[in-house]
Structure 1
Amino acid sequence: MTQASDPRGFGIYIHWPFCKAKCPYCDFNSHVRERIEEADWRDSYLKELAHYAALTPGRTVTSIFFGGGTPSLMDPKTAETVIDAVARHWRMANDVEITLEANPTSVEGAKLKGFRAAGINRVSLGIQALDDVDLKFLGRQHNHQEALAALDLAANTFDRFTFDLIYARPGQTPQLWEKELARALTFAADHISLYQLTIETGTVFEQAYARGDFVLPDEDMQAELFEMTQAMLGAAGLAAYEISNHARPGSESRHNLTYWRYGDYVGIGPGAHGRLTIDGRKLATRQHRAPERWLEMVATQGHATRQSDDVPVDARISELAMMGLRLAEGIPFTRFEAEAGRPFAECLDPARLRRLGEGGFLESRDGRLMATDAGRQRLDALLGELLG
């Protein structure tokens, strides 16, 4: 198999590191700036793309993803310039997926048609909640009416769109979540992402939670909310193809599937990560995290790569398991063998596999290793046991 025909795809990730405000639950590399010289950013993206294009000739790009931060704050012209550069450097798949993350404020929503004209063909809206009190708690800059208006606009502008919701919020009951999720489903088309609220290290919520400013639903309530979510989405024809992501068949996020299937992708912009297979070596790349320092490094050396390290075989097996077991489809044994250069039976500890299988958390079927529904619900614990 040639890299150009790799069924896992080949993605380009572009990180826009700026937001209007920092959400208290967010641990992403996002920053608030009063002034942004967008022309400098546009030029720097082009330089870093050129650097990585020289390392990966002959590949076919199956997806481009503008993430952040809040990339819908950028000028659509910047997105257009980046897309055109990708098309110059690599072949583009006929059905290339080009996604932009967007917030549903009225100002950003008004720009969606401009992004569509720039070449974006899929938008991902950060709705997060349809309750104004909870939106304020989550630090969002929109209200539920703006959210609904943005969903309407996305549906009328793009053939494909998705949106995120966060559940297991303080005080949320199954009855409240059922009502909110039912309303959200009236706007869902072919994809939706649903995340349980978690407390991430280094966030404002970490400090507030430690002070006792709010309480999350207990584990039993979280499990009930999760099971309700799976049931409602399944009944709506949006089965979970990944732990938190639901889609109609054929409408899965192609870019995220490249990650979860352990395919190759280029990461551009501050703090962006990449995974690249070059001459049989798997490289883990990471760009400098601080926006201003990233700009300086790109200006002086054409890229701001802070890390470009070989991923050893054992780490490749671990990464493949950590990503692929998130998927309902699991991981083909042949994928382990390709990464490890040895038979599947020698890739993972057979005693651990047996214990997890007997416990109902893992199964091997049709040449694939898969986490069961129970296993995906406890994936961190499963991976800890599987990989030691």
Structure 2
Amino acid sequence: MRGRDANKNRTPRCYRGVTFDTGDHLGGGWLRVLDQLDEAVIVLDHQRILQHVNQAARRLLGYEQGQPVGGRCRLTTRGVDCENACPLTFALETGLETVRNFTTVYHSIDGRALHLDVTVIPLADAAGEFCGAVEILRPNQPRPGFYTCGQSETALALQRRAAELAGRDCDLIVVGDRPSCLDVARTIHRFSGLPDGLFSVWGGAWDDPTPWPPGTMYAYGHGVYSEVAEHRPEGWRIVVGMSTLNDEPDGSEIWDLPPLDDLSADLPRMIGAWVEEMAPGKSISAAALEQLVLMAGGNGLEEVERTLATALAAASDRVDLEHLPVDGYRTVLVEELMKTGNPLAALEERVLREVVERCGWRMQEAAERLGISRVTLWRKMKDLGIEKSS
């Protein structure tokens, strides 16, 4: 009876009608059940103080040696979204009972970036008030870009090198063709644990990206590094691509990309991934893929990039042979554009409009996909009369 009397003033905590009689803290036998799960689970109270970290979560976060785990959640997980829009904040602000697969990055106790899909289940008491939450952490390694996605020994070595450079706090010079350098820079950025929204392409000034939180600024060309670095905001990393190495800034890592011949066995996979990167949801036929592989081997990736840009604009859901050059220059898209009064302006308008629409009219994302600044994109849209339909 003494035990029952001691527990009679407990406040039950509820989720979807299930009551957890937890007493003065989140404890009890059900927490021992969590320790038997293979998935990483953490439990927070209403002040976001950690109340339980199961064994799988301790292993994931690097707390296997008996280090104490406590305090506010963000001090343990050190997530990139903790200060702005963490998964739990998103759940509470949207009023959702559950937020599933919120993609974010936490950090282990030794500083390793942990790419995760986080499911958050807010808990409510009997009065419907927020009283805590359960987070389920599922590892989700970022995918490499098209240039490093192959399975050959050379491609796997590229992935390892990208992961190694992602963990270093230094600027980087990448030597190679334009599309390869950009893709490698974005891959390193992702591997470093930062979201795509913090990857920017140099547009001539630091006016476009917000200084905080810091991210990666990418530029291509000889002599551009000093221009980008001159007024760099604190914490930003600079990655510069160039066709040949003729200057080497102090303190920068150099990565000379291998010739494309070394990745010949990976070209079909690379181009397929490139199509998905440029136009999510679109595919490419086997015949068109074979044609582009031959083009890459003969003319390089810059020619493939130009061809894909026009082919994807012309194709509805799949790139086929009819969307590729027939005799080196004729395509269906060009034939259509030649019927307009100003083919070049018509092409620019078509590409800009489609990219902006694919990005859901998110200007920063669209500008990055196009390789221009947000200000330049806005000016071009104004000149071409591109407006969002009501």
TM over 0.5: no
Higher relative contact order (CA 8 A, sep 6+): 1
Higher relative strand content:
1
Q: TM-score, normalised by structure 2?
A: 0.26
Higher Cα Rg, which structure = 2
TM-score with structure 1 setting the length: 0.26
